[in-house]
Chain A
Amino acid sequence: MMSIDHDILVWFSKSFGLFYLIALSIGVLVYAYWPSNKKSFDQAAQAILVDDDKPYRG
């Protein structure tokens, strides 16, 4: 069985950790700036200002 020692953990954090955080950052930026998402973001930001203090019952 391969033992997980200190050096392997350091190597893993310094490589995988770097790449998954960069990938995540790119993913978040793409999602936030994706043009077609803008409409639902604007809608959500405006929706909370509406004073209709009742749950929706459809």
Chain B
Amino acid sequence: MVAQLTKNERQIALVILLVMAAVGLAMAAGGRNDPFGVHGALVMVVAILGMFGVISGYYAPEPPEDRLDSYYDAPSKFGIIAAMIWAVIGMFVGDWVAWLLAYPDWTFDAAWASFGRLRPVHTSGVIFGFGGNALIATSFYVMQRTTRARMPDQLSPWFVLLGYNLFCVIAATGYLMGVTQSKEYAEPEWYADIWLVIVWVTYFVLYMRTLARRKEPHIYVSNWYYLAFILVVAMLHIVNNLAVPIAWGSAKSYSLFAGVQDAMTEWWYGHNAVAFFLTSGFLGMLYYYMPKRAQRPIYSYRMSIISFWGITFFYMWAGSHHLHYTALPQWVQSLGMTFSVMLLIPSWVSAGNALMTLNGAWHRVRDDAVLRFMMVAAVFYGLSTFEGSFMAIRPVNSLSHYTDWTVGHVHAGALGWVAMITFGAIYASVPWLWKRQAMYSAKLVEAHFWLALAGTVIYVFAMWNSGIIQGLMWRTYNESGTLAYSFTDSLIAMHPYYVARAIGGLLFLLGAVVGCYNIWMTIRTAPSAAPETAADRPVLGGAVLQPGE
């Protein structure tokens, strides 16, 4: 890694690490026994190890000038491996908390193993660890290819990736120590938030600098989606995390907002995290990897532009549907509901565009599990955006809100759409990045596909059943006008579904583990691609031409 940096970049890296070590030391000294101090020590140790790493490679020869003849892919490789590691961690903890819901005694009487601390490890692990690393890795890959420009330097992509993973580690370890600002999907405290802003702005600047060097006059649509992801996530993150720490040496802070303003800011953030982290970025991925793998251009480039602006400007107003029947003014609730229903149009335009792209390549979908991952992702994208618009309607929400239906909906999106498109993109990228003919085992990709699909279907059906039963039990009255069921009654009714959900999650996790093994073996043992075939073409099963080709 250090050998790929120029002399100048190695010096800058040392300065950055020195500053980080100093900040870490100050945090450790100021925070003492507070988790803030523990995180300070962590930052200091990481920075010092990094300095050793840079110094040991400092006198290595500078990278040759001909590096500029190829794209800079080492950061993408790192990001993909990091994404798979976070996938296993995040999904393992997710399945753990799923079993905890079915068998609440399994916490070993330890504070760190309580549901409230483990659950954000799961959500941050899969969304930010797995999803975020995959987005950063693929965005580096896609932005360079679609602009036909190499990244402007070698240092900033590493700063973005390593800095981002440091944020993820601080977040996850903080939750286990009880650090949280109690905002869903924005749990990390103020110091972690400030660090993420620095990393994220560097990411944005790197993307813009690469775009400025582009050799293609038109900016391909994937870049628009990735840029919306980067820009809007920065905006959401900064506004929602405005807070004042109770002391410089303390992890605890108080939000700038209170009451219903706080709730509205949080769900403006929360729903747009779904929109711009979990949708926009992954649509960018879809619009590059799906046409590439299917070897067909997007069905309608125009539709991809129209749905981009639709998604970007409609989602911004949909967040208030999380606050139906609350102290939020009625008209703001109605506004959120209306925009959520309108969102169905650009969402289905995107899903339809993806499926129409495959029209004519169905034989490839049949034979190639990698492309099938992407196809199923587009189907689940269509399903869960329909479900989301439906659930945002106020009377429907009165049944679904606070029930497992919401959890099922989120996982239809997260497992069925986000994880499927990511696995598809990763399986496509690994042979391209490591210059292999194909994945080590097409059979294992196939196995992963069926494990992931079975896991998702079991999970989503279990939560639909559980959620609707819950919702109905909570609103059933007896003749005297009081509730017919106690809350405990509804818990007992949910138990079998919780076990089913945990089994579905286990299948999904097993699929990810199979994927890790397959990727590892591809990197280690798969035969190299001949140089002139560029390894950029998917190799199907037996490489036999299909009828009609």
Contacts and interface: CB of A to CB of B under 8 A. Distances in A.
Interface of A: 6, 10, 13, 21, 24-25, 28-29, 31-33, 38, 40-49, 51-58
Contacts of B297: 42, 45-46, 48-49
Contacts of B310: 25, 28
Given A21-B313, A32-B302, A41-B301, A48 B149 contact: no
B305 A31 contact: yes
Given A24-B313, A40-B218, A58-B215, A45 B301 contact: yes
Given A40-B217, A43-B218, A44-B218, A54 B302 contact: no
A53 to B, nearest CB: 5
B208 interface: no
A48 B145 contact: yes
Nearest to A52: B534
B149 A45 contact: no
B70 to A, nearest CB: 6
Contacts of A47: 146, 216, 220
30 contacts: A21-B313, A28-B305, A28-B309, A28-B310, A32-B302, A40-B217, A40-B218, A41-B218, A41-B305, A42-B297, A43-B218, A44-B216, A45-B297, A45-B301, A48-B146, A48-B288, A48-B297, A49-B291, A49-B295, A49-B296, A51-B536, A52-B534, A53-B70, A53-B432, A54-B70, A54-B71, A55-B144, A56-B215, A57-B69, A58-B215
A28 B145 contact: no
Nearest to B435: A53
Contacts of A55: 68-71, 144, 148-150, 215
A10 B288 CA distance: 41
Contacts of A52: 534
A33 B70 contact: no
A55 B146 CA distance: 10
Nearest to B292: A48
B3 interface: no
Contacts of B331: 10
Interface in B266-312: 288, 291-292, 295-298, 301-302, 305-306, 309-310
A41 to B, nearest CB: 4
Contacts of A33: 302
Interface string B110-150: 00000000000000000000000000000000001110111
A23 to B, nearest CB: 11
B221 interface: yes
Nearest to B296: A49
Interface of B: 68-71, 144-146, 148-150, 215-218, 220-221, 288, 291-292, 295-298, 301-302, 305-306, 309-310, 313, 329, 331, 335, 432, 534-537
Given A6-B329, A58-B215, 5 more contacts: A38-B302, A45-B298, A48-B145, A55-B149, A56-B148
Nearest to A21: B313
A53 B215 CA distance: 14
Contacts of B302: 32-33, 38, 41
A6 B292 CA distance: 51
Contacts of A49: 291-292, 295-297
A49 B292 CA distance: 6
Nearest to A6: B329
B291 A48 contact: yes
A54 to B, nearest CB: 6
Classify the interface of chain A: helix, strand, loop or mixed: helix
Q: Which 3 A-B pairs have the closest CB atoms?
A: A45-B297, A56-B215, A41-B301
A42 B298 CA distance: 9
A40 to B, nearest CB: 5
Contacts of A45: 291, 297-298, 301
Contacts of A29: 306
Contacts of A21: 313
Contacts of B329: 6
Nearest to B287: A48
Contacts of B146: 47-48
Given A21-B313, A24-B313, A51 B537 contact: yes
Contact of A56 (B149, B291, B305, B432): B149
Contacts of A43: 218
Nearest to B308: A28
A48 B69 CA distance: 18
A55 B213 CA distance: 11
Given A21-B313, A29-B306, A49-B295, A44 B221 contact: yes
A53 B301 contact: no
A16 B301 CA distance: 30
A46 B216 CA distance: 12
A10 B335 CA distance: 11
Nearest to B216: A47
B507 to A, nearest CB: 34
Given A21-B313, A41-B302, A48-B146, A53 B534 contact: yes
Contacts of A31: 305
Given A45-B301, A49-B291, A54 B69 contact: yes
Which of A52, A53, A58 is most buried by chain B, counting CB atoms within 10 A of its CB?
Answer: A53
Contacts of A57: 68-69
B328 to A, nearest CB: 13
B352 to A, nearest CB: 16
A44 B301 contact: yes
